[in-house]
Amino acid sequence: MPVPPELKFQRVDIDTSKPSAEACLIFSLPLDPAVHYDEYLAFAPALRPACASTGRACAFPASAFGVNYETELRAGLPAAVGVKLLASQKVTVAMRDRPPLLAFRDGLILPRENSAGVPINSINVERIKLKLFRVPERLPVPDQPQHDGGAPNLSL
């Protein structure tokens, strides 16, 4: 007689690339998308997320970056095939800080006059070293030959 499969928690995947962090609890068996898994999870500090299940993952948004959530997976949490988590289990979900990001706010061309500074947006970056180069307005286009038929010289 075959042994029925057992539902087990396997790992946590964290996605910090979005504006709000998301954690996915990965299980050994597919979950049922019709089940409200938030009823089977308890968080400290308190969090009441709307959980979404896809395949073996139960995903939920976190309220903040840089917070550790002690998460209790309650016994009875069901898989799609009908088996349930046999015993409650505690898992630490560490919502690490967002990865460093540096970007120009309004594109790469800076205004010619009356600029109050370089418009840069940053996340988790304390200092930057910036080199600015002036590009002549009439810089030849690389695909167009010079008047002598040769390739344009683009060295600055």
List the domains of the chain with CATH numbers: 9-95 (2.60.40)
pLDDT in tens, 103-147: 776 655 666 666 666 677 778 888 888 777 776 766 665 655 555
Is the pTM of the predicted complex or chain greater than 0.75? no
pLDDT score, position 154:
46
Answer with the residue of higher pLDDT: 75 or 134.
Answer: 75
Answer with the residue of higher pLDDT: 143 or 65.
Answer: 65
Residue of 54, 72, 57, 50 whose CA lies nearest to 24: 57
Under 8 Å CB-to-CB from 142, ≥6 apart: which residues?
151, 152, 154
pLDDT score, position 155:
44
